[in-house]
Structure 1
Amino acid sequence: MKSTMANLWHLVKGVQIRDLGEKRYLFKFFHIIDMERVINGAPWTFNNHLLILHKLKGGEDPL
Protein backbone atom coordinates (compact mmCIF):
# COMPACT_ATOMS: atom_id res chain seq x y z
CA MET A 1 0.00 0.00 0.00
CA LYS A 2 2.78 2.44 0.91
CA SER A 3 4.46 2.51 -2.49
CA THR A 4 1.13 2.62 -4.33
CA MET A 5 -0.24 5.56 -2.36
CA ALA A 6 3.09 7.43 -2.30
CA ASN A 7 3.34 7.14 -6.09
CA LEU A 8 -0.24 8.30 -6.50
CA TRP A 9 0.09 11.22 -4.08
CA HIS A 10 3.52 12.50 -5.32
CA LEU A 11 4.58 13.52 -1.81
CA VAL A 12 7.27 16.12 -1.12
CA LYS A 13 8.67 14.52 2.06
CA GLY A 14 7.01 11.10 2.18
CA VAL A 15 4.72 9.18 4.48
CA GLN A 16 5.05 6.40 7.04
CA ILE A 17 2.19 3.88 7.09
CA ARG A 18 1.59 1.68 10.13
CA ASP A 19 -0.92 -1.20 10.20
CA LEU A 20 -3.00 -0.84 13.37
CA GLY A 21 -5.05 -3.98 12.70
CA GLU A 22 -8.81 -4.28 12.22
CA LYS A 23 -8.51 -2.64 8.77
CA ARG A 24 -7.00 0.54 10.25
CA TYR A 25 -3.79 2.25 9.21
CA LEU A 26 -1.94 5.22 10.63
CA PHE A 27 -0.50 7.60 8.01
CA LYS A 28 2.28 9.86 9.32
CA PHE A 29 3.12 12.60 6.82
CA PHE A 30 6.51 14.27 7.08
CA HIS A 31 5.33 17.60 5.65
CA ILE A 32 2.11 19.51 6.38
CA ILE A 33 1.68 20.31 2.67
CA ASP A 34 1.59 16.59 1.86
CA MET A 35 -1.02 15.90 4.54
CA GLU A 36 -3.25 18.78 3.50
CA ARG A 37 -3.05 17.87 -0.18
CA VAL A 38 -4.01 14.25 0.53
CA ILE A 39 -6.88 15.17 2.87
CA ASN A 40 -8.22 17.86 0.54
CA GLY A 41 -7.85 15.58 -2.49
CA ALA A 42 -10.08 12.86 -1.02
CA PRO A 43 -11.87 10.58 -1.73
CA TRP A 44 -9.11 7.99 -2.19
CA THR A 45 -9.41 4.26 -2.74
CA PHE A 46 -7.02 1.32 -2.47
CA ASN A 47 -7.96 -2.00 -4.13
CA ASN A 48 -11.51 -0.67 -4.54
CA HIS A 49 -11.81 0.11 -0.82
CA LEU A 50 -12.55 3.67 0.26
CA LEU A 51 -9.90 5.26 2.48
CA ILE A 52 -11.52 7.29 5.24
CA LEU A 53 -8.98 9.84 6.45
CA HIS A 54 -9.15 11.62 9.81
CA LYS A 55 -6.64 14.20 11.02
CA LEU A 56 -5.68 13.36 14.61
CA LYS A 57 -5.71 16.14 17.17
CA GLY A 58 -2.93 16.45 19.77
CA GLY A 59 -3.08 13.57 22.23
CA GLU A 60 -5.83 11.74 20.32
CA ASP A 61 -5.45 7.95 20.34
CA PRO A 62 -5.47 6.53 16.77
CA LEU A 63 -7.05 3.31 18.02
Structure 2
Amino acid sequence: MANLWHPVRGVQIRDLGGKQFLFQFFHAMDMDRVLKGSPWTFNNHLLILHMLQCGEDSL
Protein backbone atom coordinates (compact mmCIF):
# COMPACT_ATOMS: atom_id res chain seq x y z
CA MET A 1 0.00 0.00 0.00
CA ALA A 2 2.86 2.36 0.74
CA ASN A 3 3.96 2.09 -2.91
CA LEU A 4 0.44 3.01 -4.03
CA TRP A 5 -0.04 5.89 -1.60
CA HIS A 6 3.46 7.44 -1.95
CA PRO A 7 3.46 9.08 1.51
CA VAL A 8 5.79 12.06 1.80
CA ARG A 9 6.97 11.21 5.34
CA GLY A 10 6.39 7.46 5.15
CA VAL A 11 4.03 4.94 6.67
CA GLN A 12 4.64 1.99 8.96
CA ILE A 13 2.37 -1.04 8.52
CA ARG A 14 1.96 -3.56 11.31
CA ASP A 15 0.03 -6.86 11.07
CA LEU A 16 -2.26 -7.10 14.11
CA GLY A 17 -3.55 -10.55 13.15
CA GLY A 18 -7.11 -11.52 12.33
CA LYS A 19 -6.96 -9.66 8.99
CA GLN A 20 -6.29 -6.37 10.78
CA PHE A 21 -3.41 -4.01 10.07
CA LEU A 22 -2.26 -0.81 11.71
CA PHE A 23 -1.10 1.96 9.37
CA GLN A 24 0.97 4.63 11.13
CA PHE A 25 1.51 7.77 9.08
CA PHE A 26 4.25 10.23 9.99
CA HIS A 27 2.55 13.31 8.57
CA ALA A 28 -1.10 14.35 8.89
CA MET A 29 -1.16 15.38 5.22
CA ASP A 30 -0.39 11.79 4.15
CA MET A 31 -3.05 10.32 6.43
CA ASP A 32 -5.69 12.84 5.31
CA ARG A 33 -5.00 12.14 1.64
CA VAL A 34 -5.34 8.38 2.14
CA LEU A 35 -8.55 8.71 4.19
CA LYS A 36 -10.12 11.11 1.69
CA GLY A 37 -9.12 8.87 -1.24
CA SER A 38 -10.96 5.82 0.07
CA PRO A 39 -12.47 3.34 -0.55
CA TRP A 40 -9.30 1.40 -1.22
CA THR A 41 -8.87 -2.22 -2.25
CA PHE A 42 -5.89 -4.55 -2.06
CA ASN A 43 -5.88 -7.85 -4.00
CA ASN A 44 -9.63 -7.35 -4.60
CA HIS A 45 -10.27 -7.00 -0.84
CA LEU A 46 -11.93 -3.88 0.50
CA LEU A 47 -9.91 -1.89 3.04
CA ILE A 48 -11.95 -0.28 5.79
CA LEU A 49 -9.95 2.55 7.33
CA HIS A 50 -10.56 4.08 10.75
CA MET A 51 -8.53 6.84 12.38
CA LEU A 52 -7.81 5.94 16.00
CA GLN A 53 -8.63 8.56 18.59
CA CYS A 54 -6.35 9.35 21.51
CA GLY A 55 -6.55 6.50 24.01
CA GLU A 56 -8.39 4.16 21.61
CA ASP A 57 -7.05 0.60 21.49
CA SER A 58 -5.94 -0.69 18.09
CA LEU A 59 -7.18 -4.22 18.78
- Interval of TM-score (by shorter of Structure 1 and Structure 2): over 0.9
- Structure 1, unaligned stretches of length 5 or more? none
Structure 2 length as normaliser, TM-score?
0.96
Equivalent residue, structure 1, for 2:50: 54
Number of residue pairs matched by the alignment: 59
More helix by share: 1
Structure 1 length as normaliser, TM-score?
0.91
Task: Measure, in 2, the Cα distance between the counterparts of 1:26 and 1:11.
Answer: 15
Q: Secondary structure at the match of 2:54?
A: coil
Question: Which aligned pairs between 1:9-24 and structure 2 lie closer than 5 A?
Answer: 9-24=5-20
- Structure 2, unaligned stretches of length 5 or more? none
- Runs of 4 or more above 4 Å deviation: none
